[in-house]
């Protein structure tokens, strides 16, 4: 019989595949960072004013981004008031007000292995090899209300149905080929085609718990149904009933051989454009990560469906042997958590993003931007907004300050800096507050690295989107 700890182990294995490569996600503050090649990850219409860009493994981008949409640490644990002013308290009632209908713990990564950008006539071409990860744990806000017992879930709230929760994580390598082209002096378009090779995955296809409360006796009837798909360096030991008894983990060379198998293939595409509406106004639009991965290596479909009736504790038994009473309930629940096993290929979509933005140039070196980002995951859209002030007084220096609504929080002050010529250093974050007061934030993240750029300033004829001076020579009438 598969135990809860085995499911947790599968989750940990896949999260290890995520974090063994470091952590990151594309940071929205990056979108309007002029002169930074990494912007191509958010809008493939980006063009560089340098002849050649070279990115080195990890050195050109070490990123970390994690978020919890439900509440911050300080929302849950903080100093009390009155007689408890010098004590830390766990404030369950406070986080009840913070939780949404659906809440997520999120970690995403992009780790560069190799990156190249260069010009071919009037076209800017990019080639990137990147390790990417998306890890997410979903849980419903109603889950916290069970702390108060089941008496609250009678009447219109009976039964209590908890759905759409559980882990989703993928780790894959992405080889992309991008092309950005100037169609007119005003319009630039770009696209990146991606070949994907999956390394590990866990997908929650169904996670349902139904709790029915008898309105006279308050006895509980519990129904559970889970359906997970897994592709990981593990093998399952199955009994004669088709149920999983145990899990064997690949070790040493077996893990490496498994990860090198090219059986989890997929494709994706990014599309983007910029439009110079007037001397001062520019519009941006892009869609990233349209695609999927088909998983076929070491795949498993784990299913569970059971019911359980709880009619209260036997008070006589508790008074004489309390351990036995609780152990009996735990054994019963563990017996119900039997997962059937089958091998099955499956597909997971990429987490797509839609960006819409605009900038208004006050001077040749200062503009203000607005960006809307719609992220699609868990079959739902998740919206964020950003405003920014972007300064580039010299080709070798630029900086950005941003303010965002993201992860259902307004406490997001971002910052970006690039400095240097051929050897460029940059650092970005969407939440500077996390470095100052981490206990009062719902997200933390940064991106920093070094880039190699050559022949800068020699492509002004083709890089209008990054060349303020050239705008003066263009007739927008």
Could you please report the per-residue DSSP string of 411-446? EEEEEEEEE-SSEEEEEEES-THHHH-GGG-SEEEE
Strand locations in 94-186 (E): 102-120, 123-140, 160-162, 166-182
Q: Please list the alpha-helical segments (H only) found in 194-305.
A: 253-260
Asked whether residue 389 is assigned to any structural domain, the reply reads yes
Which pLDDT belongs to residue 3?
46
Asked whether residue 94 is assigned to any structural domain, the reply reads yes
Q: pTM here?
A: 0.81
What's the structural domain count of the chain? 1
At residue 327's C-alpha, the angle toward residues 325 and 333, to 5°, is: 110
Name the β-bridge partners of 118. 52, 125
| Count of positions (residues) in the chain | 477
Compute CA distances 37 → 21, 288, 392, whole Å. 21, 16, 15
Phi-psi map region of 4: left, alpha, beta (phi>0 left; psi -120 to 50 alpha): alpha
Q: Rounded to whole angstroms, how far apart are CA atoms 4 and 246?
A: 11
Give 193's contacts (C-beta < 8 A, 6+ positions apart): 176, 177, 178, 267, 268, 269
Asked whether residue 174 is assigned to any structural domain, the reply reads yes
Instruction: Phi first, then psi: give them for residue 396, nearest 5 degrees.
Output: -95, 5
Q: Rounded to whole angstroms, how far apart are CA atoms 193 and 295?
A: 20
Q: Rounded to whole angstroms, how far apart are CA atoms 50 and 119?
A: 9
Which of 157, 130, 135 lies closest to 146 in space, CA to CA?
157
At residue 438's C-alpha, the angle toward residues 435 and 441, to 5°, is: 115
**3-class secondary structure, 17:** helix
Which pLDDT belongs to residue 328?
67
Residues 351-394: pLDDT tens digits?
A: 899 999 999 999 989 999 999 999 988 778 889 999 999 999 98
- Residue 84 pLDDT grade (very low, low, confident, very high; cuts 50, 70, 90): confident
Query: Could you tell me the sign of the dihedral formed by the alpha carbons of 143, 147, 149, 153, in that order?
Result: negative
The bridge status of strand 166-182 relative to strand 62-68 is unpaired
Q: Rounded to whole angstroms, how far apart are CA atoms 182 and 165?
A: 45
CB atoms within 10 A of CB 253: 8
Residues 313-366: pLDDT tens digits?
A: 555 555 566 565 566 666 666 667 778 888 889 999 998 999 999 999 999 899
Could you list the residue range(s) of the whole structural domain that residue 70 is in? 4-472
Compute CA distances 247 → 250, 264, 298, whole Å. 10, 21, 12
Asked whether residue 435 is assigned to any structural domain, the reply reads yes
CB atoms within 10 A of CB 277: 11
Q: What is the 3-state secondary structure (H, E, C) of 336-352?
A: HCCCEEECCCEEEECCC
Tell me the HSE value of 238 on the side-chain side, using a 13 A CA sphere.
15
Q: Are 421 and 453 a contacting pair, CB within 8 Å?
A: yes
Which of 116, 55, 24 lies closest to 424 in space, CA to CA?
55
Tokens of 148: 């108060």
Any idea which residue has 């889970």 for tokens? 226
Tokens of 103: 């809440």
Q: Are 211 and 222 a contacting pair, CB within 8 Å?
A: yes
Q: Are 329 and 337 a contacting pair, CB within 8 Å?
A: no
pLDDT above 70 as % of the chain: 80
Compute CA distances 158 → 93, 143, 152, whole Å. 22, 14, 9
Instruction: Phi first, then psi: give them for residue 353, nearest 5 degrees.
Output: -135, 140
Q: Are 64 and 23 a contacting pair, CB within 8 Å?
A: yes
Which pLDDT belongs to residue 137?
86
Asked whether residue 172 is assigned to any structural domain, the reply reads yes
Residue 105 has pLDDT above 50, yes or no: yes
Q: Rounded to whole angstroms, how far apart are CA atoms 120 and 123?
A: 5
Which pLDDT belongs to residue 473?
41
**Out of 24-28, 103-107, 267-271, which region has the weakest mean confidence (pLDDT)?**
24-28
Could you please report the per-residue DSSP string of 58-76? TTT-EEEEEEESS--HHHH
**Out of 51-60, 109-118, 303-312, 394-403, which region has the weakest mean confidence (pLDDT)?**
303-312
Which of 157, 43, 75, 175 lies closest to 116 in space, CA to CA?
175
Asked whether residue 477 is assigned to any structural domain, the reply reads no
């Amino acid at each position: 019989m598969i135990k809860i700890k085995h499911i947790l182990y599968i989750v940990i294995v896949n999260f290890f595949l995520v974090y063994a490569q470091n952590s990151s996600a594309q940071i929205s503050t990056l979108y309007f960072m002029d002169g930074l090649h990494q912007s191509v990850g958010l809008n493939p219409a980006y063009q560089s004013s340098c002849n050649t860009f070279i990115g080195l493994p990890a050195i050109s981008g070490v990123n970390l981004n994690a978020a919890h949409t439900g509440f911050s640490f300080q929302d849950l644990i903080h100093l009390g008031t009155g007689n408890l002013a010098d004590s830390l308290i766990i404030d369950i009632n406070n986080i009840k007000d913070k939780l949404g209908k659906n809440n997520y713990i999120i970690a995403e990564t992009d780790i560069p292995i190799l990156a190249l950008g260069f010009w071919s006539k009037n076209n800017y071409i990019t080639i990137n090899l990147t390790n990417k990860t998306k890890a997410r744990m979903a849980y419903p806000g109603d889950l916290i209300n069970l702390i108060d017992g089941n008496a609250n879930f009678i009447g219109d709230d009976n039964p209590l149905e908890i759905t759409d929760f559980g882990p989703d994580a993928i780790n894959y390598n992405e080889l992309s080929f991008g092309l950005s082209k100037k169609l007119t002096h005003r319009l630039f378009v770009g696209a990146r085609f991606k070949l994907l090779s999956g390394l590990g995955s866990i997908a929650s296809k169904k996670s349902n718990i139904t709790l029915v409360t008898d309105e006279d006796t308050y006895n509980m009837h519990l129904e559970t149904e889970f359906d997970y798909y897994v592709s990981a360096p593990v093998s399952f030991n199955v009994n004669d009933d088709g149920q999983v008894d145990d899990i064997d983990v690949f070790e040493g060379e077996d893990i490496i051989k498994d990860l090198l198998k090219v059986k989890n293939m997929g494709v994706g595409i990014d599309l983007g454009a910029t439009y110079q509406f007037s001397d001062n106004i520019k519009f941006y639009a892009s869609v990233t990560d349209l695609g999927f991965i088909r998983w076929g290596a070491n795949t498993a479909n784990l299913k569970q469906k059971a019911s359980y009736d709880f009619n209260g504790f036997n008070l006589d038994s508790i008074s004489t042997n309390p351990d036995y009473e609780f152990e009996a309930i735990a054994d019963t629940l563990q017996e119900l958590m039997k997962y059937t096993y089958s091998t099955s290929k499956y597909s997971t979509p990429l987490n797509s993003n839609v960006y819409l933005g605009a900038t208004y140039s006050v001077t040749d070196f200062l503009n203000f931007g607005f960006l809307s980002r719609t992220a699609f995951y868990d079959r739902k859209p998740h919206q964020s907004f950003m405003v920014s002030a972007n300064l580039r007084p010299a080709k070798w220096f630029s900086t950005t300050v941003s303010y965002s609504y993201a992860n259902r929080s307004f406490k997001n002050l971002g910052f970006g800096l690039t400095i240097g010529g051929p050897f460029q250093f940059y650092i970005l974050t969407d939440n500077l507050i996390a470095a100052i007061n981490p206990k009062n934030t719902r997200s933390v993240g940064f991106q920093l690295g070094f880039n190699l750029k050559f022949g800068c300033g020699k492509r002004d004829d083709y890089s209008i989107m990054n060349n303020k001076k050239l705008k003066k020579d263009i007739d927008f009438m």
